[in-house]
Amino acid sequence: MSNARATVGIGEAARRVGLAPSAIRFYESEGLLAELPRDGGRRRYGSEELRRLAFVAVGRSLGLGLAAIRAALHPEPGDWPRIVDEQVTLLDARIAEAEHTRALLLASRDCPTPQPVRDCEYLRGALDERVGAPS
Protein backbone atom coordinates (compact mmCIF):
# COMPACT_ATOMS: atom_id res chain seq x y z
CA MET A 1 0.00 0.00 0.00
CA SER A 2 1.59 3.21 -1.15
CA ASN A 3 1.80 6.17 1.20
CA ALA A 4 0.77 8.41 -1.71
CA ARG A 5 -2.81 7.21 -1.84
CA ALA A 6 -5.52 8.26 0.56
CA THR A 7 -6.20 5.87 3.39
CA VAL A 8 -8.57 5.77 6.34
CA GLY A 9 -8.44 4.20 9.77
CA ILE A 10 -10.49 1.21 10.85
CA GLY A 11 -13.26 3.33 12.37
CA GLU A 12 -13.82 5.25 9.16
CA ALA A 13 -13.52 2.07 7.09
CA ALA A 14 -16.16 0.43 9.31
CA ARG A 15 -18.49 3.41 8.91
CA ARG A 16 -18.11 3.47 5.13
CA VAL A 17 -18.85 -0.23 4.61
CA GLY A 18 -21.37 -0.71 7.43
CA LEU A 19 -19.37 -3.14 9.52
CA ALA A 20 -18.16 -3.00 13.11
CA PRO A 21 -14.41 -2.57 13.56
CA SER A 22 -14.38 -5.91 15.40
CA ALA A 23 -15.97 -7.57 12.33
CA ILE A 24 -13.26 -6.07 10.13
CA ARG A 25 -10.56 -7.44 12.43
CA PHE A 26 -12.27 -10.85 12.35
CA TYR A 27 -12.45 -10.85 8.54
CA GLU A 28 -8.76 -9.95 8.44
CA SER A 29 -7.97 -12.86 10.76
CA GLU A 30 -10.00 -15.13 8.44
CA GLY A 31 -7.85 -14.14 5.45
CA LEU A 32 -10.47 -12.08 3.64
CA LEU A 33 -8.07 -9.15 3.63
CA ALA A 34 -4.32 -9.23 3.32
CA GLU A 35 -2.32 -8.18 6.35
CA LEU A 36 -2.31 -4.41 6.26
CA PRO A 37 0.69 -2.25 6.87
CA ARG A 38 0.38 -0.05 9.91
CA ASP A 39 0.92 3.66 10.30
CA GLY A 40 1.80 4.49 13.88
CA GLY A 41 0.51 1.08 14.93
CA ARG A 42 -2.87 1.61 13.25
CA ARG A 43 -4.33 -0.19 10.26
CA ARG A 44 -4.86 1.98 7.20
CA TYR A 45 -7.39 1.09 4.50
CA GLY A 46 -7.10 2.29 0.92
CA SER A 47 -9.65 2.06 -1.88
CA GLU A 48 -8.76 -1.56 -2.71
CA GLU A 49 -9.26 -2.70 0.88
CA LEU A 50 -12.51 -0.72 1.15
CA ARG A 51 -13.84 -2.40 -2.00
CA ARG A 52 -12.98 -5.83 -0.58
CA LEU A 53 -14.67 -4.95 2.71
CA ALA A 54 -17.74 -3.71 0.83
CA PHE A 55 -17.84 -7.04 -1.02
CA VAL A 56 -17.64 -8.90 2.31
CA ALA A 57 -20.42 -6.73 3.78
CA VAL A 58 -22.70 -7.33 0.79
CA GLY A 59 -22.00 -11.05 0.84
CA ARG A 60 -22.72 -11.32 4.56
CA SER A 61 -25.92 -9.28 4.23
CA LEU A 62 -27.07 -11.80 1.63
CA GLY A 63 -26.28 -14.66 3.98
CA LEU A 64 -23.18 -15.94 2.21
CA GLY A 65 -20.75 -17.89 4.33
CA LEU A 66 -17.14 -16.95 4.84
CA ALA A 67 -15.94 -19.83 2.66
CA ALA A 68 -18.02 -18.59 -0.27
CA ILE A 69 -16.84 -15.01 0.20
CA ARG A 70 -13.22 -16.18 0.52
CA ALA A 71 -13.54 -18.21 -2.70
CA ALA A 72 -14.97 -15.18 -4.50
CA LEU A 73 -12.19 -12.92 -3.22
CA HIS A 74 -9.47 -15.43 -4.09
CA PRO A 75 -10.76 -17.35 -7.13
CA GLU A 76 -8.61 -19.89 -8.89
CA PRO A 77 -8.09 -19.10 -12.57
CA GLY A 78 -11.34 -19.67 -14.44
CA ASP A 79 -13.40 -20.26 -11.27
CA TRP A 80 -15.24 -16.91 -11.17
CA PRO A 81 -18.23 -17.97 -13.35
CA ARG A 82 -18.71 -21.16 -11.30
CA ILE A 83 -18.50 -19.25 -8.01
CA VAL A 84 -21.04 -16.70 -9.24
CA ASP A 85 -23.42 -19.40 -10.50
CA GLU A 86 -23.26 -21.26 -7.17
CA GLN A 87 -24.01 -18.11 -5.20
CA VAL A 88 -26.84 -17.07 -7.51
CA THR A 89 -28.40 -20.52 -7.06
CA LEU A 90 -28.22 -20.14 -3.26
CA LEU A 91 -29.66 -16.63 -3.44
CA ASP A 92 -32.50 -17.82 -5.68
CA ALA A 93 -33.38 -20.46 -3.06
CA ARG A 94 -33.36 -17.82 -0.30
CA ILE A 95 -35.55 -15.53 -2.39
CA ALA A 96 -38.03 -18.35 -3.01
CA GLU A 97 -38.14 -19.14 0.73
CA ALA A 98 -38.66 -15.46 1.57
CA GLU A 99 -41.47 -15.18 -0.97
CA HIS A 100 -43.12 -18.32 0.45
CA THR A 101 -42.85 -16.95 4.00
CA ARG A 102 -44.24 -13.59 2.88
CA ALA A 103 -47.23 -15.27 1.25
CA LEU A 104 -47.83 -17.37 4.38
CA LEU A 105 -47.78 -14.32 6.63
CA LEU A 106 -50.04 -12.29 4.36
CA ALA A 107 -52.51 -15.17 4.07
CA SER A 108 -52.70 -15.45 7.87
CA ARG A 109 -52.70 -11.70 8.61
CA ASP A 110 -56.47 -11.47 9.10
CA CYS A 111 -56.82 -14.56 11.27
CA PRO A 112 -59.27 -13.49 14.00
CA THR A 113 -57.65 -15.41 16.86
CA PRO A 114 -55.56 -13.68 19.54
CA GLN A 115 -52.74 -16.24 19.14
CA PRO A 116 -52.54 -16.93 15.38
CA VAL A 117 -49.44 -19.14 15.51
CA ARG A 118 -51.24 -21.38 17.96
CA ASP A 119 -54.91 -20.96 16.96
CA CYS A 120 -55.16 -19.93 13.30
CA GLU A 121 -56.15 -23.06 11.43
CA TYR A 122 -54.52 -21.95 8.15
CA LEU A 123 -51.24 -20.93 9.76
CA ARG A 124 -51.13 -23.98 12.02
CA GLY A 125 -51.69 -26.25 9.03
CA ALA A 126 -48.99 -24.55 6.97
CA LEU A 127 -46.50 -24.79 9.83
CA ASP A 128 -47.37 -28.44 10.51
CA GLU A 129 -46.81 -29.16 6.82
CA ARG A 130 -43.43 -27.48 6.97
CA VAL A 131 -42.23 -29.65 9.85
CA GLY A 132 -43.95 -32.79 8.64
CA ALA A 133 -46.28 -33.00 11.63
CA PRO A 134 -49.67 -34.66 11.35
CA SER A 135 -52.54 -32.17 11.29
Summarize pLDDT for 1-33 with one digit per residue, the tens.
Answer: 444 567 899 999 999 999 999 999 999 999 898
What is the number of residues in the chain?
135
DSSP conformational letter for 45: B
DSSP conformational letter for 8: B
Q: Is the pLDDT of residue 118 over 50?
A: yes
**Coil, strand, or helix at residue 106?**
helix
- Residue 125 pLDDT: 87
Q: Following CA atoms 95, 63, 55, 57 in sequence, which dihedral angle do they give, to the nearest 10 degrees?
A: 120
Mean pLDDT of the chain: 88
CA distance 118 to 115: 5
pTM of the shown model = 0.72
- Residue 1 pLDDT: 45
